[in-house]
Amino acid sequence: MAVTKATILNHTTASTPRPHVQYVVQVKTSEDQNLEISKRYSEFVDLHAALDDPGVLPPKRILVTSFLPSAWVDDRLIAERIDGLNSYLASLIRSPDFSSHPDFLAFLSLSATSSPVHFSLEDALPSTLTRKAALEAQAQMTFSVNASTPIAAAYYPDWATDTNPPQSLDFTKFDILLFAFATPNSSSTLSWDSGATSTLKTLVSSAHNSGHGTKVVLSIGGWDGSHWFSQAMSSANRSTFVNACVSAVKTYDLDGIDIDWEYPAEAGAGNPNSPSDAANLLSFFTSLRSELGSSKIISAAVTDLPWTGSNGSPLTDVSAYAKQMTYANIMNYDVWGASSSPGPNAPLGNLCGTSQQPQYSAQAALSQWTKAGFPASQLVLGLPLYGYVSQSTRTTLEDIARPPPGFLLAQYRQQVLGLPMRNSKTGEALACPVPDQKVGVQEEKGEPNPMNGAHLRSKTRQDVSKAAAGDLSTYFGQQIPFNQIVALGALKKSSNGTYVQANGYTEGWDNCSDTPYLFNVSRQTVVTYDDTYSLGDKATFAKQNGMAGCFTWSLDQDDGYALQDVIRSSLG
């Protein structure tokens, strides 16, 4: 007899040995039998531990932060638990590895032990706990929103269907996929590209049926999709927009919502904006959390600096946002675009103290957001799988090409950034060698990219069959996917899985931002990008500094899964 469905219908309470909640589970079998069993939350925890499955339970969180002895607290916790436990049961039934597992079948059987002998505080009604008991319980809890291995996430743009069909993805590579994009419209609801909802349905079903626990989150907005955000977030339209987001979650069986507003209280791509944008965004997150419950992901794509407040400066306290959100996804890229004086796209840090943009790096972003009250454990570091092609004869990167005399870079890497020291020639402490730094003459100032941390809604690939090996001229002044740098012959993959210069290009390494670049003086071409070395360093930095993990923009720009594999490995 096989289980075809298991759903929590409602809950009941019991008084022995102390008032607690039991969830009534209806079990349907392949023989059309309907069974009803009662289970405590702690029994689900025990099952999860026995199966060692990749599914996710609603968090262990006794609601003791406010110590409200009210039925409202109980009902909210119970509703959140039911939602999360139903998702967990569904994931087990979809998995061929766990749907017929003896422990799972015993858990859903009437013959199984109906309730554990021990009593868990997690099963108690919050209103039955005294303040002292609640404090004692809280002290025993080790749960945090990201207490386990850091997450590896990626944006999946709706235009990636042809090159990376959802049903063909290797979901073992991704903990979270952010589907990009839906966009707010003039009605404060959502608009979609042609065919996007069909792609999203396939992505969700493929991810949820993969057995790997990959979550799918809808990303709303983007660089040229943020025009209506200010209106949609306003008090007059907020409930309409919240309802549209909630409806999308329910309609497409999503695991959450990601807001990619570029940017609150700023024009971005010429968008309407208001000094109240940041405050309205917080009100939106609060309402959305109330509607979605605690088990769904709420995230936002953000720049290296906190949102701009009503005074025109970055907010100094974003702790209230963190309480409603699961993650803030830091877009640490587009720091320097294409220029006659190229600079790094995504600096790890201002490692030599000479950057023209010291606030824009992974190191600075972590410091700026945590100083404003957003926990590192909820910050996800963004990593670009693309670079910029500049028409230039430079052989170094603008302004930050060499450490000043006497600067102990290796010691700084180890003590301040938490990264291992390494020899720039042998690659000690890495799995592969790091290119030597190339030194040249700087002649003129370049301009930083005005689109710091932008998610563009469309990426184009050039016809590589018509280009001579190493000719990147059709990309002058533009972003270039990493896989196109390889396909066009400026890089080639070596036998150890790393990438080396090809077709007349020379690899440079900018120690002061910890990034690679390519140059070919005769072609007047400089490529600033990220590779296995720099991405590995950034992922290591995220892990060692207690960040939630890393995400990439975007998965269709990888060379297979070469870069994603390095990121996952570096995250542990």
Q: Are 549 and 371 in contact (CB under 8 A)?
A: no
Selection from 188, 207, 362, 367 nearest residue 280 by Cα: 188
DSSP at 567: H
Cα→Cα distances 185→253, 279, 388, Å: 22, 20, 31
Does 78 score more than 50 pLDDT? yes
385, two tokens: 């799988």
| Chain segment 461-495, per-residue pLDDT in tens | 555 556 679 999 999 999 999 999 999 999 999 98
pLDDT at position 441: 29
With beta carbons less than 8 A apart as the criterion, state whether 228 and 221 touch.
Answer: no
Q: What is the reported pLDDT for 345?
A: 95
**Cis peptide upstream of residue 347 (ω within 30 degrees of 0):** no
Handedness of CA 227, 229, 234, 239 (dihedral sign): positive
Say how far apart CA 425 and CA 328 lie, in whole Å. Answer: 36
Task: Compute the distance between CA of residue 353 and CA of residue 170 in angstroms, rounded to an integer.
Answer: 41
Give the per-residue pLDDT at 450: 63
Q: Which CATH architecture has domain 3-140?
A: 2-Layer Sandwich (3.30)
User: Looking at per-residue confidence, does 420 or 382 come out higher?
Assistant: 382
Q: How confident is the model at residue 398 (pLDDT cuts 50, 70, 90)?
A: low
| Model pLDDT for residues 529-556, shown as the tens digit of each residue | 999 999 999 999 999 899 999 999 999 9
Report pLDDT for 408: 62
Confidence of residue 67 (pLDDT cuts 50, 70, 90): very low
Q: What would the mean pLDDT of 335-340 be, rounded to a whole number?
A: 91
